[in-house]
Structure 1
Amino acid sequence: MKNGDVIWDLVDSKRSAFEALSDRVWAMPEIAYTEYESCAEHTSMLRAQGFNITECVAGIPTAVMGEAGEGGPVIAILGEYDALPGLSQEAGIAEPRPIPGTGHGHGCGHNMLGSAALLAATAVKDWLATTGARGRVRYYGCPAEEGGAAKAFMVRAGAFDDVDIAISWHPASFTQVDDAQSLANTRMDFEFTGRASHAAAAPHLGRSALDAVELMNVGVNYLREHVPADCRMHYAYLNAGGIAPNVVQAKTKIRYAIRATDLPGMFALNERVKKVAQGAAMMTETTVDISIMSAVSNLLGNTPLEIIMQSNMDRLGGVPFDDADREFAAKIQATLSQEDIETDYQRVGQPLADNAPLCDYVLPREQKGVPMIGSTDLGDVSWAVPTVQARVATHAIGSPGHSWQITAQGKMPAAHKGMVYAAKVMAGTALDVLRNEALLKDAKADHQARIAKAPYTCPIPPEVNPPLQPRPAE
């Protein structure tokens, strides 16, 4: 029996309990820093599986860590469980059908992400206990990946200082080792303050904060032509100044997401956007208060870990979907545009396939597609320790990220199969590191070489704290 078979059997032996955990978290969607119930579910599972538990990691009430084992290297397996606003959807229905309630939904699959990571950590814990091998495995339950940068705050607080290797995954349309491309990202708030007045009788006495924020947006739109093509700047109004058009708006607030391929590029772009805001304030005789809400770094790859993760995928083969899985995925695809589906294939450099609603194969590492890059707070962990991430098929090809279609598929048998597969990939990768000192050494050397030219600088200013949210009243 191969080493991988042993750990994969341990995953299978407990899969039902963790599929149920994923479904419970799906049914209690909580957005950034409000994941009290979801964190409690993960903490309860850690306790049931015999982990030593650390709660309130880095001072964040919805972050938890469980550890098992003794001595040896420390392997961290990272999970998430935050949802998204506005993506409520009934499970197993291939048409928009929101569920009454908060309006939140697991439109990025983090209910599966956390459950599979904890399943993988449990399998490694059981292997350590059975074999008596030296080594420690940790499960980190990480909140607020969607815009809250919790892992960046956790890295800054030292939560990963003694970790040797970090492993994670993400639900996807295709199964492959993640190519470690992401954008560094700052979420920055601009609050303009002017002077209210009667918009008809005394407009000359007013100083419009709404004019200021609109001029800022115009300025940033002109700036787009003069930044690198892979930079991104987008915004959302947090306060447009009220609903009365006959009052000159005295206060407005807007949040920008400012992205670049690396930290130096992002820091430089941040300053340019700030200058646009300051110029808008000067033009309108208002003032602007600028504050950073969160920020994350770009991802760093790790070739030795990526190679060993690929070998685990290749030995496992693809996710074992069946005809019923494909039938429902085809119904989801019927709600999508042809462009949605083609874009997914382009992203991974795969030719368009007809009548193939699910990916049941593994893409090779060397296969590259058209980069379509977002941001993740896993980037900060990857600067702190050698990190590798899997992407595993759990939903219909073409399903847009952050969509009701992802929520609808989050409790289906295909999702369960994908998350269990991901647990096997992560557990197998962890086991290979624990059993191979040379691999661990190579992974650390690769990481040191990547950070030698530009050591890590936390993108969040030291005075900025996590935007924690109170526990909801019962």
Structure 2
Amino acid sequence: MGLIEDIKKMIDEKRTAYQALSEQVWTFAELHFGEVKSASLLSKALENEGFHVAQGIAGLKTGFVGSYGHGKPVIAFLGEFDALAGLSQKRDRTVHDPIVLNGNGHGCGHNLLGVGSLAAAFAVKEYLIKHGLKGTVRYYGCPAEESGNGKAYMAREGCFKDVDAAFSWHPDSRNAVQHLSSNAVIEARFTFKGISAHAAALPELGRSALDALELMNIGVNYLREHMEEHARIHYAVTNTGGVSPNVVQAIAEERFLVRSPQPSAVKKLFERVVNIAKGAALMTGTEMSYQIEGGCCNLIPNKTLHQVMADFMEKIGFPKPSERDLAFLKDIYTSIGDNEKNFAKQFLTPDQRDQIAEKPIADWVIPCPAEDQFMTGSTDVSDVSWNVPTAQCFTATWAFATVPHTWQVVAQGTQDYALNAALYAGQAMACTAIKTIEDPDLLADATREFKERLGGETYECLIPADVKPPVH
């Protein structure tokens, strides 16, 4: 039996167990840093499989590492399990129908992500035992990907310093390796403090924190014209200082995400944002303070590993959806807006467009691109990729044109085709990892490329050393 057949058999035999784990995490739907039930469930699954589990990694209450085996190479699989606020949705429903109004939901498919990576780790462990191979398999339970950057805390504390290669994946509506770079990001909260006063009788005695906040936003809007092309700045007002217009607001807060393609560039851009905040405080006679709450570097892709992973994805083949799956997929596809569909279709060939009209799921594998691509978003996998050669893939767990962070993602999170695609990712990651273990030259080439891409730079976490992970 060949490698692919071995891995597929090992993962398929435990499909029922993986389904149960994925559905339980979907039901828990816990937010960043508060994934207590999800972390406990996955930790127990690792222990039952014979992995030694270390809890509370890098000061993260819901961070953990399960380890099996000994010696080199050390292979890491990255698992996520946090949900999103406001995306509660009933399963098996193809219209928006929350379980709890404004409740949480797995709108990015992390219930599948964590379990797909778990399946890969278990399969590699079984393969090592069966073939008498030396090596260490680790599963990193990584909290707070959606907000908070759990992997960055792990990287900052040296959790990947002895790892030889790392693998991850993400649910999507396509099948492809993630051969791309990304924006680095700094997350920060800005607080303005002023002086309260009666807005009609004694406005001259007041100093409005809300005025300062609004002036900061205006200043940042003007800054956008003078940023690098791929840079992005987003904000959300989290405290307006009250609801009464006849009171001068004494406090106001907002959160900013500042993004740029390189860590050095994002630090400079963030400094400009801070200076704008200082100017807003000076103009209004208020006090300004800020606190960095998260951050991650840009992603470092690895063509050596991605080419191997893409080849395995093609050879394994995307799992065929059942007639029941297709019926659900068609209903979900109908619920997606025309703008979203048209945007997604522009990347398809004419034959693929015809296929999607009949079967709205991408069952083909996009080849590994010749050149690096770029993602304007950010991911804390980036901080892992600055420490160790890292490879990732997407698999089509969703109907074509499904937009991440929507109720449609949540609705698809417990479907058979979604789990099959997650286990397909697990198969591809496991096969690539085994190839890396069995072929020292492949690992050497991946490591050489990794060092060349860094160009002599060393990793520096964008989260300051004095910032600790929140405890929920």
Q: Report matched runs for 1:186-225 at 5 Å.
A: 186-225=186-225
**Alpha-carbon displacement from aligned partner over 1:347-404 (angstroms, at most 9, x marks no partner):** 6788644333101111111278995531110000000100000100000111111000
Q: Distance in 2 between matches of 1:293 and 1:280?
A: 21
Q: 1:383 to 1:448 in 2, by over 3 A?
A: same
Task: Determine helix, strand or coil for the equivalent of 2:466.
Answer: coil
Please report how far the alpha carbon of residue 329 of structure 1 lies from its aligned counterpart in structure 2 after TM superposition: 1.3
Q: Distance in 1 between matches of 2:130 and 2:348?
A: 39
Which residue of 2 is the match for residue 73 of structure 1?
73
Letter in 1 for 2:222: Y
Which residue of 1 is the match for residue 398 of structure 2?
395
Please report how far the alpha carbon of residue 102 of structure 1 lies from its aligned counterpart in structure 2 after TM superposition: 6.8
Letter in 2 for 1:300: I
Letter in 1 for 2:19: E
Q: Report matched runs for 1:19-38 at 5 Å.
A: 19-38=19-38
Q: Distance in 1 between matches of 2:163 and 2:92?
A: 39
Task: Determine helix, strand or coil for the equivalent of 1:334.
Answer: helix
Which residue of 1 is the match for residue 423 of structure 2?
420
**Alpha-carbon displacement from aligned partner over 1:301-328 (angstroms, at most 9, x marks no partner):** 1111111101111111223223322221
Which residue of 2 is the match for residue 252 of structure 1?
252
TM-score, normalised relative to structure 1 = 0.96
Task: Determine helix, strand or coil for the equivalent of 1:138.
Answer: strand
Which residue of 1 is the match for residue 378 of structure 2?
375
Q: Give 2:469's match in structure 1, choosing from 447, 466, 471.
A: 466
**Alpha-carbon displacement from aligned partner over 1:253-303 (angstroms, at most 9, x marks no partner):** 100011111112111110111111111111101110011000011100111
Task: Determine helix, strand or coil for the equivalent of 1:328.
Answer: helix
Residues matched between the structures, number = 469
- Equivalent pair of 1:347/1:369 in contact (CA under 8 Å): no
Which residue of 2 is the match for residue 408 of structure 1?
411
Q: Distance in 2 between matches of 1:442 and 1:301?
A: 13
| Greater mean deviation of Cα atoms: 447-456 or 181-190 | 447-456
- Equivalent pair of 1:347/1:370 in contact (CA under 8 Å): no
Task: Determine helix, strand or coil for the equivalent of 2:264.
Answer: helix
Please report how far the alpha carbon of residue 14 of structure 1 lies from its aligned counterpart in structure 2 after TM superposition: 1.1
Q: Over aligned residues, Cα RMSD in angstroms?
A: 1.6
Q: 1:425 to 1:411 in 2, by over 3 A?
A: same
Q: Distance in 2 between matches of 1:432 and 1:370?
A: 25
Letter in 2 for 1:284: T
- Equivalent pair of 1:319/1:393 in contact (CA under 8 Å): no
Q: Distance in 2 between matches of 1:205 and 1:346?
A: 58
Task: Determine helix, strand or coil for the equivalent of 1:464.
Answer: coil
Answering whether residue 365 of structure 2 is matched by residue 362 of structure 1, we say: yes
Q: Distance in 1 between matches of 2:373 and 2:388?
A: 28
| Greater mean deviation of Cα atoms: 55-64 or 335-344 | 335-344
- Equivalent pair of 1:321/1:360 in contact (CA under 8 Å): no
Which residue of 2 is the match for residue 472 of structure 1?
none
Q: Distance in 1 between matches of 2:291 and 2:341?
A: 39
Q: 1:372 to 1:156 in 2, by over 3 A?
A: closer
Which residue of 1 is the match for residue 168 of structure 2?
168
Q: 1:434 to 1:399 in 2, by over 3 A?
A: same
Q: Report matched runs for 1:68-217 at 5 Å.
A: 68-100=68-100, 103-217=103-217
Please report how far the alpha carbon of residue 58 of structure 1 lies from its aligned counterpart in structure 2 after TM superposition: 1.0
- Equivalent pair of 2:212/2:280 in contact (CA under 8 Å): yes
Identity rate, percent: 42
Please report how far the alpha carbon of residue 72 of structure 1 lies from its aligned counterpart in structure 2 after TM superposition: 2.1
Please report how far the alpha carbon of residue 110 of structure 1 lies from its aligned counterpart in structure 2 after TM superposition: 0.1
Task: Determine helix, strand or coil for the equivalent of 1:181.
Answer: strand
Please report how far the alpha carbon of residue 103 of structure 1 lies from its aligned counterpart in structure 2 after TM superposition: 0.3
Q: 1:438 to 1:372 in 2, by over 3 A?
A: closer
Which residue of 2 is the match for residue 455 of structure 1?
458
| Greater mean deviation of Cα atoms: 365-374 or 392-401 | 365-374
Q: Distance in 2 between matches of 1:74 and 1:347?
A: 37
- Equivalent pair of 1:29/1:106 in contact (CA under 8 Å): yes
Q: Distance in 1 between matches of 2:67 and 2:423?
A: 21
Which residue of 1 is the match for residue 10 of structure 2?
10
- Equivalent pair of 1:349/1:368 in contact (CA under 8 Å): no
Letter in 1 for 2:344: D
Letter in 2 for 1:41: L
Q: Distance in 2 between matches of 1:79 and 1:396?
A: 23
Task: Determine helix, strand or coil for the equivalent of 1:429.
Answer: helix
Which residue of 2 is the match for residue 237 of structure 1?
237
* Structure 1 unmatched ranges of 5 or more: 470-474
Letter in 1 for 2:433: A
Which residue of 2 is the match for residue 435 of structure 1?
438
- Equivalent pair of 1:346/1:369 in contact (CA under 8 Å): no
Please report how far the alpha carbon of residue 468 of structure 1 lies from its aligned counterpart in structure 2 after TM superposition: 2.2
Q: Distance in 2 between matches of 1:299 and 1:191?
A: 30
Q: 1:89 to 1:368 in 2, by over 3 A?
A: farther
Please report how far the alpha carbon of residue 106 of structure 1 lies from its aligned counterpart in structure 2 after TM superposition: 0.1
Q: Distance in 1 between matches of 2:440 and 2:389?
A: 14
Please report how far the alpha carbon of residue 453 of structure 1 lies from its aligned counterpart in structure 2 after TM superposition: 3.8
- Equivalent pair of 2:180/2:373 in contact (CA under 8 Å): no
TM-score, normalised relative to structure 2 = 0.96
Letter in 2 for 1:143: P
